[in-house]
Amino acid sequence: MSFLQQVTRVSPDHYVLPKVAGMQTEVHAFLSEHLFEQTDEGLWRQAAESASFPGAIGMYLMPDTHVGYQIPVGGVLVTEDTIAQAGSGYDISCGVLYLRAIGLEAEQVAAWEHRLRWVAEVEKRIATGVGAQRPRGMKTPSSKKVEEVLRRGAAAIGVSAELCERQYIPVPESVDVTRIERAIGKAAPQLGSVGGGNHFIEMQVDQADGSVWIMVHCGSRGYGWQTANHFFYEGAKLRGLPANRRESSWLRADEPLGREYWAHHNAAANYAVANRWTIVDGLREATRVVFGVELSPYYEISHNLVQQESLVLPDGSTKRGFVHRKGATRAFPAGHPDLRGTVWEHTGHPCLIPGSMYDGAAILFPLEGAKASGYSVNHGSGRRLGRGQAKRDLGPKQAIIDAEMREVERTLGGVKIRGIVGNTKRTPLDECAHVYKDLDEVLGVLEREGIARVERRLFPVANLKGAE
């Protein structure tokens, strides 16, 4: 019997794959009936394999889930004393940062030419795309500053802890975070850059009140990728796996390679946080030049990360464990023990959710029901088509998709805004609306299950992506 055939529905939006074969824990999936119908055996097999990692004590699938590398995207693996490198993947600490444009409202960004100018001013100050090209005038940090960033994250550039999911993760002074040559060679030239793929900078408008927000979505760039790749190979050697199965490797937290990986993983996570906050400087300048307003930081959070957290047990007691969120977002509600003493202690912290460059994004706040999902929510709307398939299948529709971006008209804060300004000549087919699931359907699952509530629903009016 296939894994899919053994899945049972325990509530309208909650499915369970029981422990079968070598699984250490059952899999809980939060999906509408329609989203469940879009899953296949490959996803459930991958979820079962994830739940079979040594030390696994919890496995969850978010409503945006789809097949990934070893662990499903939208997958949350909880372990006691082991680390699965696939839990962070290659883009360690990919995440999102939100800024609010103070005093800027929908009416002031309605004109296409104003948004087009803003896109141009941002491009003068912030690097996008693969590689390490930097706009003229964008300074390259010193090696000393880079090492400080790798150890102290946002704290190294003066960002307060209350604005971050975590300011930084401590890295032992005894660990040389510069020793992986292919990684450290990328660190200085790429700090403060967006990268390619699904990473972006976006101007958005709140549907309800017309407020204007800027979202930054990027990760640890080449430093994180090379770090992850190095330890995938080292982990495979240690576990006796062939190189083509390296993403299945795992490490004990207390073994030498496990401690080494954990230190470098955390350095990459610190780099990613600092990378996002470094981008803020250029955004502030560009927004000031075009609109004459200031940007106020709201919050920053990761969605590709392994973190040590307080695991709340059924009897209410806690213990420390590793929570791997692969394309999933941490969701601590009010009263969670790890929020004590923070500004979010009584409200829960915000969850920042990008959707697609057409359908927008959301800000959520976790509810008590998040306990059932491993204190996690989705990280986006979730892919329906892989990149290669999107480019093959949607190629004949390129002109139609370009027109959709130019002509879409929405009423945001009572103001009609037409079109989404981009920085690319053609809409990237592998990032257009047609490759993603419906964000509102995904968010609806969380609300019905009492996992989180939607605080803001925002829609894009300008988007910058990096060319491949």
Question: Model's pTM, two decimal places?
Answer: 0.96
The count of other CB atoms within 10 Å of the CB of residue 240 is: 7
- Asked whether the predicted pLDDT for residue 317 surpasses 90, the reply is no
Q: Which of the four pLDDT bands, split at 50, 70 and 90, describes residue 130?
A: confident
- With tokens 């370009």, the residue in question is 402
User: CB neighbours (10 Å) of residue 419?
Assistant: 18
Q: Would you state the pLDDT for residue 136?
A: 76
Residue range(s) defining the domain that contains residue 126: 4-465
Q: Which range is least confidently modeled, 34-43, 254-263, 382-391? A: 382-391
What number of other Cβ atoms are within 10 A of residue 336's Cβ? 24
Looking at every residue in the chain, the average pLDDT score rounds to 95
Q: From the centroid of its chain, how far is CA 150?
A: 19
350 — pLDDT class (breaks 50, 70, 90): very high
Mean pLDDT, to the nearest integer, of 343-347? 96
pLDDT above 80: residue 361 = yes
Please report which residue ranges of 126-200 form alpha helices under DSSP H: 143-152, 181-190
The Cα 131–Cα 467 span in angstroms is: 10
Report DSSP state, residue 308. E
pLDDT of residue 197: 84
Residue 315 has pLDDT above 90, yes or no: no
**Phi, psi for residue 70 in degrees, rounded to 5:** 65, -55
Q: pLDDT class for 356, splitting at 50, 70, 90?
A: very high
Label the pairing between strands 27-30 and 56-66: parallel
Measured between its terminal Cα atoms, the distance across the chain in Å is 42
- Supply the DSSP string of 87-135, one letter for each residue: GT-SSTT-EEEEEEEEEEEHHHH-SHHHHHHHHHHHHHHSB-SSS----
Q: What does the pLDDT read at residue 131?
A: 67
CATH number at residue 307: 3.90.1860.10
Give mean pLDDT, residues 116-138: 86
Domain count, the chain: 1
DSSP, res 175? S
With 90 as the cut, is the pLDDT of residue 134 above it? no
Tally the C-alpha atoms within 13 A of residue 8's C-alpha that lie toward its C-beta. Answer: 5
Q: Given this model, what pLDDT does residue 387 score?
A: 86
Given a cut of 90, is residue 1 above it in pLDDT? no
Cα–Cα distance between 315 and 272 in angstroms, integer? Answer: 36
The helix or strand, by DSSP H or E, that contains position 65, with its residue range, turns out to be strand 56-66
Q: Is the pLDDT of residue 210 over 60?
A: yes
Residue 420 to residue 112: CA distance in whole angstroms = 8
Residue 228 in this model has a pLDDT that exceeds 70:
yes
The pLDDT of residue 467 is 60
Q: Identify the pLDDT of residue 374.
A: 95
Q: What pLDDT score was predicted for residue 132?
A: 61
